[in-house]
Amino acid sequence: SDPDLVARATAAKAALGSRVFVLGHHYQRDEVIQFADVTGDSFKLARDAAARPDAEFIVFCGVHFMAESADILTAPEQKVILPDLAAGCSMADMARLAQVEDAWAALTEAGVADQVVPVTYMNSSADIKAFCGKHDGAVCTSSNADVALEWAFAQKPDAKVLFLPDQHLGRNTAVLQMGIALDECVVWDPRQPNGGLTVEQLRDAKMILWKGHCSVHGRFSPDVIDELRAKVPDLNVLVHPECQHEVVLKADLVGSTEFIIKQIEKAPAGSSWAIGTELNLVKRLADAHPELNIMFLDRNVCYCSTMNRIDLPHLVWTLESLVNGEVPNVIEVDPDTEHWAKVALDRMLALPG
């Protein structure tokens, strides 16, 4: 990275001292990660944000929904800052509150809403988390989706889960970790009347999966796994649960970014790994582990374009603004949304494990 920008970021961060705390998601660029006080997956970062009540400014190097969650979990006087406000998440954008409210009205009409526990993936806007909080549901992340589903199914007799917004994480967790049959999972398409489902389908389903996906992880294909296995002996395939079910079925290991890192850290020297997650992380793991044969599970380059919006120029601008007494790009969730979203987040944080 540009040495002048590195020097400016270093100086600004030193000038701010303990007033600033920089969080970096594992999908951030190397040039940004080098300035993170902590790195993590979305679950770890949500906890880490709450663990620094003394920091005046939390600079969140990640995407918008993560900064919202940090705002909800930190003290009111702490300011959470997103270095580029255009760093959103296409998956989070696939579930809008008005669409989810329409779906709930249809579930009520079908006579099943009383059985439904809504669970939203962390990768959703604060108002969707608040919706889950209000309707006795919870948030989950890719680190704890199984425990969250277990919790949800124990909330009501004959419970069903409305899982938002990632159909793949919902399906993979339900089928592979909870023993729910594939045909007990139905997909609610918000663009179709009644989600494209009949009342009978809704009554029979255990999992109602929102039709959302990650534009990065959704690209990995089972064919590439077959091709690589044919070429590389003893290949270990390690993927994120946001990948399609067919990909996860062919993988050896599945887990959140934090899980992926742990597997690589304990891998025996000389072993081969094809990793299906965002490319910044895969490259960083390959650089840090020259003793392993690490490859990317896609023929093409595939970064998360919105994660990549946070670059060193934006970080320098943010830190220097703070040094100059300006507080840019503050993410502030309105009090009512914050209250109910916190109810759903706290339910997740109280889960065992």
Binding residues for [4Fe-4S] cluster: 89, 214, 304
Binding mask 92-131 for ligand SF4 (x = CB under 6 A): -------------------------------x--------
Binding mask 167-206 for ligand 13P (x = CB under 6 A): ----------------------------------------
How many helices (H) does the chain have, and how many strands (E)?
A: 15, 13
Dist CA 137 CA 325 (whole Å):
40
Closest chain position to ligand 13P (CB)? 41
- Residue 216 contacts ligand SF4 per CB under 6 A: yes
74, 99, 120, 123: residue in contact with ligand 13P (rule CB under 6 A)? 123
Alpha helices in the chain, H assignment, sequence order? 3-16, 30-33, 42-50, 64-73, 97-109, 126-134, 145-153, 167-177, 199-204, 222-231, 245-250, 257-265, 279-288, 312-323, 335-349
First CA to last CA distance, the chain? 38
Binding mask 242-281 for ligand 13P (x = CB under 6 A): x-------------xx------------------------
8, 21, 32, 41: residue in contact with ligand 13P (rule CB under 6 A)? 41
Alpha helices in 183-309, H assignment, sequence order? 199-204, 222-231, 245-250, 257-265, 279-288
- Residue 141 contacts ligand 13P per CB under 6 A: yes
DSSP string for residues in 92-137: GGG--HHHHHHHHHHHHHTT-GGGEEEEEESSS-HHHHHHHHHTT-
**Residue list, annotated binding site for iminosuccinate:** 25, 42, 121-123, 142, 240-242, 257
Residues in contact with ligand SF4, counted by CB under 6 A, come to a total of: 13
Q: Which is nearer to ligand SF4, 99 or 257 (CB)?
A: 257
Report how far Cα 43 is from the mean position of its chain's Cα atoms.
8
Minimum Å gap between C-beta 41 and ligand 13P is: 3
**Residue list, annotated binding site:** 25, 42, 89, 121-123, 142, 214, 240-242, 257, 304
